[in-house]
Each structure stands twice: as C-alpha cells, then as structure tokens.
Amino acid sequence: MPKRHDIQKEHCALLVIDMQKYFCDQMSDACVPDAGMLMKKVQQLIKSFRTHKLPVFFTRHIDDTEKGSLMFEWWSENILADDPHSALSDELIIASDIVITKHQYDAFLYTDLVEQLQKREIKQVVICGVLTNLCCESTARSAFMRGFHVFFLDDGTRTYTEDMHKASLLNLSYGFATIVNTQDVLRALGR
C-alpha cells in the first residue's frame, strides 16, 4: 500500500488546469458534462487558497505546431490562441495569479511551471480542472516525477465520461497521487 501524505498548506499550491471557455462554456461543442458544478468546486478552492495567501496557478492550453506537438494530428479540432474559446472562463477571477500557457497535455513540458513552484518552495500541488484523463492526469504524473506530492481532486476534475474519470483516479491513486475531494482540501486549509 502506498504511503499517503497530508496537505501542508505552507508548502502547497493549487493548479487549475485548462478551465477555458472551450471546455466550460455551455455554448461550446467541447463543454464537459457538469461544467457548472465543476466550476463551483474550483471557485471554492481558489477562494480558500487566496484567503490563506497560497499560490494559485492557472493553465491555458493552446495547440502549437512549432512545439513539435502531435495534437494537430491526433485531434480533428484544435484550440488556437486567437479563438475566443481559448480564453480562461469568465467565471474565474484571475487576480495576481500566474497563468501558464501550455502546448501539451502536461503543464510542466516546455513551461516554467517547475521553476515557478520551486521559487515559492512548493512541495505539494492540488490539481483540479479538465480533462481528468488528459491534461490533469498528465500533469499529476509529471508533478510526481519532479518530486511534488500530488493531491488530485475526484470532484474537482471532469472529463467526458464517468468511466474515463474513474479509470484516471484508479491509476493515479495506485502510483502517483493522493485522491481527495474539495471538502478534504478545504478542511486541510482551515476553510
């Protein structure tokens, strides 16, 4: 059985993965089921992290052929920088938080995310957002490989089917992350 860790708020950051209009706007063809409920959970987490003066990082996925990405080959539809749906959701209030633009599923690949976390002496990350089985899972695995304790939200991540969501949670819990829910995180932070 893997060792489990507790959230230590003085060394913890929130990673909000790809909460873009593309995935969260009901008018988008790519909107994930329960996007409204997910947004409420994410907003609660952001508020709590800010209240405790803990870092919040947002990622914004943009497909880019110059980064050697296979995304253009794999997907028939791509998220381009000039597409209005590529913007972070209007329901998120981005204050002095950091927005990391990424071009792969993994938020660490070809970005300065690891340096940003290390500069703040972060040792733990809480991951929420979309899609559970692609960008969230890839980022969780990458964070673990880079030495961060990962707390992955079962109710704060979403994808297109419950089977894909559950499969990611099962795999991550086995070797990469402690699976938690929003209330667990809020309690650990002291609300």
Task: Give the 3-state secondary structure of the chain.
Answer: CCCCCCCCHHHEEEEEECCEHHHHCCCCCCCCCCHHHHHHHHHHHHHHHHHCCCCEEEEEECCCHHHCCCHHHHCCCCCCCCCHHHCECCCCCCCCCEEEEECCCCCCCCCCHHHHHHHCCCCEEEEEEECHHHHHHHHHHHHHHCCCEEEEEEEEEECCCHHHHHHHHHHHHHHCCEEECHHHHHHHHCC
Q: Answer yes or no: are the C-beta atoms of 155 and 44 closer than 8 Å.
A: no
Residue 133 has a pLDDT of 98
Residue 191 has a pLDDT of 67
Q: What is the mean pLDDT of residues 1-29?
A: 90
Q: What is the mean pLDDT of residues 21-25?
A: 97
- Tell me how many degrees the CA angle 139-140-145 measures, rounded to the nearest 5: 95
Place of tokens 């309690």: 187
Q: What is d(CA 140, CA 177) in angstroms, rounded to the nearest whole number?
A: 7
Q: What is the mean pLDDT of residues 178-188?
A: 97
Q: What is d(CA 164, CA 177) in angstroms, rounded to the nearest whole number?
A: 17
Q: What is d(CA 190, CA 72) in angstroms, rounded to the nearest whole number?
A: 43
Residue 71 has a pLDDT of 80
Q: What is the mean pLDDT of residues 49-68?
A: 89
Task: For each of the domains in the chain, give its residue range(s) and CATH number, in order of start.
Answer: 10-189 (3.40.50.850)
Q: What is the mean pLDDT of residues 116-126?
A: 98
Residue 5 has a pLDDT of 78
Residue type, 154: D
Q: What is the mean pLDDT of residues 22-48?
A: 96
Entry pTM: 0.95
